[in-house]
Structure 1
Amino acid sequence: MSDTQKPKDPVSKHPQPDFPEQEQAHPGWSGPMDPPPDHGEESYEGHGQLMDRKALVTGGDSGIGRAVALAFAREGADVLFSYLEAEEEDARETVRLVEEAGRRAVAFACDLREEAQCREIVDRAVAEFGRIDILVNNAAFQMSQPDGIQSISTEQFDRVVRTNLYAMFWLCKMTLPVMAKGGSIINSASVQAYKPSPHLLDYAMTKGAIVNFTQGLAQMVAQDGIRVNAVAPGPVWTPLIPATMPDTVEFGKQSPLGRPAQPAEMAPAYVFLASPRASYITGEIVNATGGTPLP
């Protein structure tokens, strides 16, 4: 048994708050984060579960998206991922990790709030790989507003909804015609879908919608041989946190495990849902909340 396979105390497996105070401009990047996020660079071991599959992952430059891209590659998949131009440095690292795993990596800079750019990324994936077997709708935007709804501008609300919902809708609609039977769509929901934090009102609203959309679309395309599921993480230590939250010191402390998840801890759920092992699972939400009970 390798060291990564040995059972470990989930409470002490990764860093626990209190963390140093830290703040970044949006969209943030992994480099200055303290502690550094773990994407599975040293721990994730692949077992060929996604051999020669072709994946499109949004927001794959850092955080959960990078961890998923890395895990998919080590399981045998080629990966095209989206990122914002400001995230170029993080995107290069994701490319390096995927290629180091012996798989093809394509980084695509775009703004998924625009329908035309969603079409471009789907077309690029098909041009590069010939098909799309797995679609992971992971890119998201949030911005904490502790002063309440009066502080949520129309500009912010529009950005949250277009990034989190419009892009998911467009990408699913555009990908389904080029996805063969056996394909898998995985959406990133959140514990916020069930237990919304007031300071993340608009973000939490979109995550609730993602749960509903996932369950509805799963029924719609079941007879086409396509499975649609979602992962609902609890607090996860990603660049979005110091870039959008007012207090990082105690981030994740409220979870029963007493700490935030690391991105690497989310990736196995995405791998499972994408793999043939989950062939009878569709319309489901895999909750990975660190013990927070959900309905």
Structure 2
Amino acid sequence: MLMKAKSSDAGDPIAIATDVSSEEDCKKVVDQVASKFGRIDILVNNAGVEHYTNLVEEITEAWLVRLFRTNIFGYFFMTKHSLKHMKEGSCIINTASVTAYIGSPHQLLDYLSTKGSIVSFTRGLALRLVDQGIRVNGVAPGPVWTPLQPASQPAYEVEYLGSDVPMRRAGQPYEIAPSYVFLASNQCSSYMTGQVLHPNGGTIVNG
């Protein structure tokens, strides 16, 4: 799939399996990428997990630790080790979620807490790096058809995914991807940092 997506003037892409909850693993990935390509121009922090539960009482300490280590610690680790390979004009894009802005009345309290952290991380990091000429922005998608949905939710929830947003449907990955391309392009978004785009099917958010 990576080979099909690459442009004719690009080097061969690489895919590396890793555990972003481990700082050591994150450093290894960054070092491999920097060794092959010489620098890092764009970092997209996107890895995440979620766990379906209706009750706060069902959220265990072990699960909460795993969730935060994957969903936000991993963003810190990848960013920390990538920065020394990034120069002026580089950018970082963090994946948040619409749930960080509107909450969820029935489930995902633990998940949306990590996504709220990502929004704050994005804004704070943007201000920290602005003098280095490195932009930091985020994307907060609404419900999207990805493998995470059937893997983490009951079938009856997946069946109605997206039915409660104004467009009355879940999005497709190809509808979300242009937001990342826009933020990655200095031609399109060179005057944007610390901001979050909201491809979410029409849900109105204040942020």
Q: Of the candidates 72, 76, 88, which is equivalent to residue 165 of structure 1? A: 72
Distance (Å, rounded) in 2 between the aligned partners of 1:161 and 1:154: 11
Distance 1:225 1:164 in 2: 26
Question: What do the CA deviations read for 1:212-267 (whole angstroms, capped 9, x no partner)?
Answer: 11001100100000000000000000000000011211111111001000000011
Q: What is the letter of the counterpart of residue 183 of structure 1? A: S
Give the match for residue 215 of structure 1: 123
CA shift for structure 1 position 96: 4.1
- What stretches of structure 1 move > 3 A for 4+ residues in a row? none
User: Which residue number in structure 2 is paired with residue 138 of structure 1?
Assistant: 46
The residue type paired with residue 268 of structure 1 is P
The equivalent of 1:88 in structure 2 is: none
Tell me the equivalent position of 2:107. Answer: 199
Structure 1 portions without partners, runs of 5+: 1-93
Whether 2:82 is the aligned partner of 1:175: answer yes
Name the residue aligned to 2:170: 260
3-state SS, counterpart of residue 102 of structure 2: coil
1:294 matched to 2:205? The reply is: yes
Tell me how far apart the structure 2 counterparts of residues 232 and 185 of structure 1 sit (CA, whole Å): 14
Aligned-residue identity in percent: 45
Match of 1:33 in 2: none
Alignment match, 1:128:
36
How far apart are residue 153 of structure 1 and its match?
A: 1.5
CA distance in 2, matches of 1:155, 1:124: 30
Instruction: Please give the root-mean-square deviation of Cα atoms over the aligned residues, in Å.
Output: 1.1
Task: Tell me, yes or no, if structure 1 residue 250 matches structure 2 residue 160.
Answer: yes
Q: Say which structure, 1 or 2, has more relative contact order (CA 8 Å, 6+ apart).
A: 1
Counterpart CA distance in 2 for 1:144 and 1:294 is 23
Which letter does structure 2 place at the counterpart of 1:227? R
- Retained in 2: the 8 A contact 1:98–1:105? no
SS in 2 for 1:135: strand
* CA–CA distance in structure 1, aligned partners of residues 5 and 202 of structure 2: 31
- State the AA in 2 paired with 1:175: S
User: Residue 189 of structure 1: which of 96, 109, 134 is its match?
Assistant: 96
Deviations 1:129-159 (A, max 9, x none): 110000000000101112x111111221111
Unaligned runs of 5+ in 2: none
SS of corresponding position for 1:233: coil
Displacement after TM superposition at 1:98 (Å):
2.7
User: Following the alignment from structure 2 to structure 1, what is the Cα–Cα distance between the partners of residues 182 and 158?
Assistant: 31
User: Could you give the per-residue CA deviations for residues 160-192 of structure 1, whole angstroms, max 9, x where no partner exists?
Assistant: 100011010111111111101000100000001
Aligned partner of 1:155: which letter?
A
Query: In structure 2, what is the Cα distance between the partners aligned to 1:142 and 1:105?
Result: 28
Q: TM-score, normalised by structure 2?
A: 0.93
Instruction: Give the residue type in structure 1 aligned to 2:74.
Output: A
How far, CA to CA, are the matches of 2:15 and 2:5 in structure 1?
Answer: 11
Relative to 1, partners in 2 of residues 1:97 and 1:151: Cα closer, same or farther, differing over 3 Å? farther
* d(CA) in 2 for partners of 1:116, 1:98: 29
How far apart in 2 are the matches of 1:289 and 1:110? 29
In structure 2, the residue corresponding to 1:229 is in which secondary structure? Answer: strand
User: Is 1:151 equivalent to 2:151 in the alignment?
Assistant: no
The number of equivalent residue pairs is: 200
TM-score by length of 1: 0.66
Please point out which of 183, 190, 202 is paired with 1:279.
190
* 2: CA distance, partners of 1:170 / 1:249: 35
SS, match of residue 173 in structure 1: helix
Deviations 1:27-56 (A, max 9, x none): xxxxxxxxxxxxxxxxxxxxxxxxxxxxxx
